[in-house]
Amino acid sequence: MYPQCIREMMSFRDLLSMKLAEGDVARVVGTPNALSAVLAEGAGFDAVWASSFEISASRSLPDASVLTMTEYLAAAQDVQKAVNIPVIADVDTGYGGNLNVAHMVREYENAGITAVAIEDKIFPKTNSFYGSKHSLLDIDEFCSKIRVAKNTQRDETFFVVARTEAFINGLGLDVALERCNAYIDAGADAVLVHSKQTSNQEIIDFIGRWEGRAPVIIVPTTYPDWHVDDMAKLGIATVIYANQGLRATVSALSDTYSRILEEGKTTAIEDKIVPVQRIFELQHLKEWKQLEQT
């Protein structure tokens, strides 16, 4: 039987309660692997987002339900093992129908993940920014997925985020509100409202009519100049900086690789990159050596 897990670390639910009590926004950053997550924890983030976009991109594969739940779960679990802050796992559509959602909840809960975000696209999904036609799943079918998820969880702290792609699909505010209200009625613990406009207006309009029914999570990829303090004033619960880390990684790798070939040696880049000893720290080498002593 799947073990019921009680963690020493804080669950995402408890983190959110704490932040709400403080009137603060939970700051979350996308990470495709354990190393990134350790750096995010070190920098001071409250939680990490096991991003399907970053995980699939790390494999040089599209964010289009090509990788399987097995692979996304393994990535999210590796991340959670490495940090004491909670992981929010991006689980796309829940990987199929209701049975897939039930199986997903069992597997993620068993793996020690305390929060998942499921979105209202049809399986197989494509990334929100790909410019494909994104048909949304029928609202009742998605509510059914949420109910299955909530009925399946065994630990009361497990947290299910319902993500709507209504704005991404150009369906407007009324549809976004209708869907999010229905998702909360179905049992979702929070909503993630995604927009790819170059301003935050859709989100601001949404908040204006949401009436604080449940925590709202946002992903400001295309409106980067929205300050977190202004999000806090508006009552936004959580901000996810979903893909900036990976984009910074690509810039750094491209630059580093090119310079090595152009310069024929690595002298000039030595002071742009951390020493190997810093990597040892991130591998927890000292702690492992102590573990070995008896």
Residues 124 to 183 in contact with its own copies, rule: CB under 8 A: 124, 129-130, 132, 144, 147-148, 151-152
Separation CA 257–CA 234 (nearest Å): 43
Gyration radius from the chain CA atoms: 20
Among 14, 24, 46, 63, which one carries the catalytic annotation? 63
Among 12, 159, 206, 241, which residue sits at the site for its own copies (rule: CB under 8 A)? 241
Per CB under 8 A, does 221 bind its own copies?
yes
Residues 13 and 157 sit within 8 Å (Cβ to Cβ): yes
Residue 56 tokens, joined: 């699939």
- Active site includes 120? no
Site string for its own copies, 25-64 (x = CB under 8 A): --x-x---xxxxxxxx-xxxx-------x--xxxxxxxxx
Q: Which residues contact 136 (CB under 8 A, 6 or more apart)?
A: 120, 121, 122, 142, 164, 165, 166, 169, 171, 179
CB of 60 to its own copies, least distance (A): 4
**CA torsion sign, 140 to 141 to 147 to 151?**
positive
Exposure b/e, 179-194, CB count within 10 A at least 16 = b? bbebbbebbbbbbbbb
Give the nearer residue to its own copies in terms of CB position, either 39 or 173.
39
Give the nearer residue to its own copies in terms of CB position, either 209 or 256.
256
CB of 206 to its own copies, least distance (A): 19
Among 108, 177, 188, 245, which residue sits at the site for its own copies (rule: CB under 8 A)? 245
Per CB under 8 A, which region of 168-176, 177-185, 201-209, 266-274 contacts its own copies? 266-274
**Binding residue count for its own copies, defined by CB under 8 A:** 115
Per CB under 8 A, does 120 bind its own copies?
no
Neighbours of 256 (CB within 10 A): 13
Q: Give, as ranges, the residues between 82 and 111 that touch its own copies (CB under 8 A).
A: 82-84, 95-100, 102-103, 110
Say what angle helices 98-110 and 139-152 make with each other, to 10 degrees.
Answer: 30
CB of 202 to its own copies, least distance (A): 18
**CA torsion sign, 258 to 43 to 111 to 13?**
negative
Among 2, 174, 199, 213, which residue sits at the site for its own copies (rule: CB under 8 A)? 2
Which positions are annotated as active-site residues?
Answer: 63
